[in-house]
Amino acid sequence: MAKKESVSMIDMFAEFKELKNIDRSTMISVLEESFKSVLSKQFGTDKNYDVIVNPDKGDFEIWRKREVVEDDKFQNEFTQISLSEAKEIDEDYELGEDYIEAVDFRSFGRRAVLNLRQTLAAKIMDLQKDSLFAQYSELVGQVVSGEVYQVWKKEILLLDDQGNEMLLPKSEQIPSDFFKKGDAVRAVVAKVENKNNNPKIYLSRTSEVFLERLFEMEVPEINDGLITIKRIARVPGERAKIAVESYDDRIDPVGACVGIKGARIHGIVRELHNENIDVLNYTNNVSLFISRALAPAKISSIQIDHESKKANVFLKPEDIAMAIGRNGVNIKLATKLTGYTVDIYRDDVEEQDEEDIVLEEFADEIDLWIIEALKSIGCDTARSVLRISREDLIERADLEEETVDHVLAVLEAEFEEETEEEGEK
């Protein structure tokens, strides 16, 4: 085996190293270990051999150390050298000294070279798998792109720009997804497994994390930390609700996420195949949060059981269908988003038929900002306010106890006067 061929073999693996992102020091270590492995198989031990890889020169050196022994005790040519032979090389050698010499790898024969190639290939493959597993383990929860290489019934095989394989299971695809070979696909890395040193990368397009990352990519204020995504609920391909919050009063979080004329959210909707996305302001006020989550329906009143995390919501008949949504999607998302089990009830019809008064009629006794706060929770009339308990009004409208007491007193007095007048008649 010519030395030139051995050197070209090193060059070949140096190129392979660049392609597979294996760093220089690791490759040198692998080369040295591979040579020692071959030497150990060839001679039963590699302890008296030193391998030095010279990546800059593109070659390697093998040095062998043998002990100088008396001629009649010479037994192993690979670990020993007789005194007479050593003195022929240099008269200064004495018994017990180490004789060190350079060894030409081609002298080991063709089998040793083939063995080296196989050992190197196996070690590099293991390194590549370890590197791939480590690389994608750090990308879990991040959006990646891949090209469809093969479509199967239960999953799709994608290749990233380095040729690494990624799997998109059918269960992690949006129902309306349809991909063919060559298509570019974006998805979030859901998990990475490494069974029997065989890493598998699983992607998802149905994950709520995927929707969150898309908003981070489309809305600079989220990426910069000015707007925070508090909660997300999805029925992939149908509808999603996302609650956002800003700690800067100058920023409208909902407006920023939607963009001018919906410019920002349209890109996300297209990516998700026209999935309807509702963006709403997050609040710690549970009643108000549930009310917002049930939009576009307007609730008349709500009863909250914080201990069991249940909410009984009362709506006018015309709002019930909107609150539930098609196939129950809206109420399902509201339950998931708020963490409260939401039950819908029809509001009392008899009360609705009674004479009512819009809140603006009380502007001379109730400040307009208080009226607006009440209207923001779906209370447009006097009776709609009176149907809600004092505690719920304080919590949902975020008003002071004294303010709520004043409002209730004014409204109740109005209807008491009407009752007295009717009685006199």
Q: Which residues contact 382 (CB under 8 A, 6 or more apart)?
A: 356, 357, 358, 359, 361, 362, 411, 414, 415
Highest mean pLDDT among 15-19, 48-52, 116-120, 172-176: 172-176
Residue 262 and residue 353 in contact, taking contact as beta carbons nearer than 8 Å: no
| DSSP 8-state secondary structure symbol assigned to residue 107 | G
% pLDDT > 90, the chain: 36
Tokens of 48: 């008296």
CATH architecture of 139-205: Beta Barrel (2.40)
C-alpha angle 221-227-229 in degrees, rounded to nearest 5: 120
CATH superfamily of 354-424: 5' to 3' exonuclease, C-terminal subdomain (1.10.150.20)
C-alpha angle 360-364-367 in degrees, rounded to nearest 5: 70
Beta carbons within 10 angstroms of residue 86's beta carbon:
21
Span of 97-106, 108-117, 385-394 with lowest mean pLDDT: 108-117
Got the DSSP string for 281-334? E--S-HHHHHHHHTTTS-EEEEEEETTTTEEEEEE-HHHHHHHH-GGGHHHHHH
18-67 per-position pLDDT tens digit: 545 566 677 777 777 777 777 777 777 777 877 777 766 666 778 888 88
Please tell me whether residue 272 adopts helix, strand or coil conformation. Answer: coil
Exposure string (b/e) for 217-248, b if CB count within 10 Å is 16 or more? bbbebbeeebbebbbbbbbbbbbbbbbbebee
pLDDT, position 66: 83
Q: What is the CATH number of domain 207-282?
A: 3.30.300.20
372-408 per-position pLDDT tens digit: 888 877 777 888 888 888 888 888 788 899 999 999 9
| DSSP 8-state secondary structure symbol assigned to residue 342 | E
pTM, two decimals, is 0.67
Over residues 64-72, the mean pLDDT reads 83
Kindly tell me if the per-residue pLDDT of 3 is higher than 50: no
The two beta strands, 310-315 and 341-346, are parallel
pLDDT, position 391: 84
319-332 per-position pLDDT tens digit: 888 889 888 999 99
198-211 per-position pLDDT tens digit: 899 999 999 999 99
Domain ranges for the chain, please list them. 3-134, 139-205, 207-282, 354-424
Which of 228, 389, 360, 363 lies closest to 301 in space, CA to CA?
389
Q: Could you tell me how many residues make up the chain?
A: 425
* 3-state class percentages of the chain: helix first, strand second, coil last, to nearest 5: 45, 25, 30
Q: Which fold has domain 3-134?
A: N Utilization Substance Protein A; Chain:P; domain 4 (3.30.1480)
